[in-house]
Amino acid sequence: MGKLLIVTIDGPAGVGKSTMAKRLARELGIPYLDTGAMFRSVAWKLGEGSWEWDEDKLKSELASFEYTLSGIGEESILSLNGTPIGNEVRTEEVGMWASNVATLPVVRSFLKEAQQSLGARFSLVAEGRDMGTVIFPEAPRKFFLDASVEERAARRFRQLEEMGKPADLEELKEQIAKRDHQDRNRAVAPLKAADDAVTIDTTELDREQVFAALVQEIQE
């Protein structure tokens, strides 16, 4: 087996990390790892209020969780205990739960080990909040995508409209700003760009321009 390639894409909620990571993984012919879905699946599986449980109870529950990964690019499938993680974890409510459980060292430690285990077996485009700083600090290619709160809320609003789901733009702005504050200021693995990451502000860029910038950096 040749040397594994790990590419990391970090950034705040709603910046387009998933779209770009899936496309880049397809371009490179390797799996895409959605680590946000891992946090969401933990929150969804454990349920509301689980972030207030004591550490022993959390450890006991997490001990039964096993993640597997298959496929390439957009067709990558991340499964928890043999069941593919689907849209049940994609609600705004579960997103806030995930932000809460992400503040817990026991959860972060468990998922760090799970993510690094997958990275030891596959070449990956890993997308999340701390891929380049904590999980894969030795990755040869690291990116940090960012955009204004207003632009990210507008993108999420359009996405929800396309899915036929009602949404309130001002409420989305508040939710994203709240998650930003929590993610950037948590004591454990706060959201920030790795020192050697290439930062791309996507506020004024369309998807093709962002993707072209990623591919150019990889090729160089």
Helices (H), the chain: 17-28, 35-46, 55-62, 92-101, 105-119, 149-162, 169-185, 207-219
**pLDDT-based confidence at 183, cuts 50/70/90?**
confident
CB 28 within 8 A of CB 167: no
pLDDT digits (tens, 9 = 90+) for 197-220: 999 999 999 999 999 999 999 887
Bridge partners of 80, per DSSP, are 67, 83
Give percent above pLDDT 90 in the chain: 77
CB 217 within 8 A of CB 141: yes
Give the mean pLDDT of 123-147: 95
Burial of 190 (0-12, 13-18, 19+ CB in 10 A): middle
**pLDDT-based confidence at 2, cuts 50/70/90?**
low
State yes or no: pLDDT of 101 exceeds 80: yes
pTM summary value: 0.85
Q: Would you list the domain boundaries of the chain?
A: 6-219
Q: How confident is the model at residue 1, as a pLDDT?
A: 43
CATH number for domain 6-219, candidates 3.40.50.970, 3.40.250.10, 3.40.30.10, 3.40.50.300:
3.40.50.300
Across all residues in the chain, what is the average pLDDT? 93
